[in-house]
Amino acid sequence: MGIRMSLAETKSDAGAFSQDILKIEVTGPEQIHLTVIDVPGIFRVLVPGLTTETDIRMVEEMVKDYIRNPRTIILAVIPCNVDIATQEVLKLAKTADPQGTRTMAVLTKPDLATEQATQNAIMELVLEERNKLRLGYLVVKNRSADDHSSTTQARTASENAFFSADPWSRAAGRCGVHALTNRLRILLMNLSKKEIPAVKAEIVTRLRRNKNDLQAMGPSRADEYSQRQYLGEIAMNFQDITKAALSGEYSGRKLFKTEEELRLITRIMRLQKGFANIFRQRAHTDHFVEDYEAALHEPISEVEGEFTDQGLETEQGTSAEEKHKETTVFESPIPEYPDIQDIITDEDFICPIASNTPIIERVREVFDAYRGPDLGTFGGAILATVFEEQAVKWRPLTFSYVSRALGVVHHFIVRLLNHVCPEEQVQDQLWNCLLHKLQTAYRRAMDHAHFLLDVEFDWCPNTSNHYFNDLLQKKRADRRVKPLREKAITVSGKGGALPAGEYVRLEDVGQGTRNMDNDEQVCEDILDVFECYYKVAQKRFVDVVFQQVVRHYVNIKPLIHVDR
pLDDT by residue for the chain (564 residues), tens only, comes to 566 666 556 555 666 777 777 788 888 887 777 778 788 777 777 777 677 778 888 888 888 888 888 888 888 888 888 888 778 888 888 888 888 888 888 999 888 888 888 888 888 888 888 888 888 899 998 888 777 788 888 888 888 888 888 888 888 888 988 888 888 888 888 888 888 888 899 999 999 999 998 887 777 788 888 888 888 999 999 999 999 998 888 888 888 888 888 899 988 998 888 888 888 888 888 777 544 444 444 554 344 344 444 333 333 343 444 444 445 455 544 557 888 888 887 666 677 777 777 777 777 777 766 676 666 566 667 778 877 888 888 898 999 899 889 989 999 999 999 999 888 888 999 999 999 999 999 999 999 999 999 988 887 887 787 877 787 788 777 776 676 666 667 777 666 666 777 776 666 666 555 656 666 777 777 788 878 888 888 899 999 999 999 988 877 666 655 544
Cα 436 to Cα 235, 255, 431, 440, 441: the distances in Å are: 18, 27, 9, 6, 9
Can you name the residues that pair with 3 across neighbouring β-strands?
Answer: 15
The pLDDT of residue 413: 92
Q: How many other C-beta atoms are found inside a 10 Å radius of the C-beta of residue 93?
A: 22
Q: For residues 117 and 146, is the Cβ–Cβ distance under 8 A?
A: no
555: part of which helix (H) or strand (E)?
Answer: none
Q: What is the DSSP letter of 74?
A: E
Nearest to 545 by CA among 347, 400, 426: 400
Predicted TM-score (pTM) of the model is 0.59
* Inter-helix orientation angle 53-67/88-96, to 10°: 40
CA distance 410 to 564: 18
Q: For residues 91 and 122, is the Cβ–Cβ distance under 8 A?
A: no
The pLDDT of residue 561: 54
Q: How many other C-beta atoms are found inside a 10 Å radius of the C-beta of residue 392?
A: 13
Q: How many other C-beta atoms are found inside a 10 Å radius of the C-beta of residue 481?
A: 13
Indicate if the alpha-carbon torsion angle 273, 277, 278, 284 is positive or negative. positive
> What are the backbone angles phi and psi of residue 74, rounded to the nearest 5°?
-90, 115
Q: How many other C-beta atoms are found inside a 10 Å radius of the C-beta of residue 63?
A: 20
CA distance 104 to 111: 21
Cα 248 to Cα 243, 269, 299, 406, 411: the distances in Å are: 8, 11, 29, 18, 17
Alpha helices in 355-465 (DSSP H): 359-370, 380-390, 394-420, 424-457
Q: Which residues contact 158 (CB under 8 A, 6 or more apart)?
A: 141, 150
CA distance 259 to 292: 43
CA distance 426 to 429: 5
Identity of the residue numbered 400: S
CA distance 351 to 395: 12
The pLDDT of residue 156: 87
559: part of which helix (H) or strand (E)?
Answer: helix 557-560
Q: What is the DSSP letter of 347?
A: S
Can you name the residues that pair with 350 across neighbouring β-strands?
Answer: 328
Half-sphere exposure of 406 (CA within 13 A, CB side): 32
Q: Which residues contact 115 (CB under 8 A, 6 or more apart)?
A: none
* Inter-helix orientation angle 424-457/394-420, to 10°: 160
CA distance 103 to 106: 10
The pLDDT of residue 29: 86
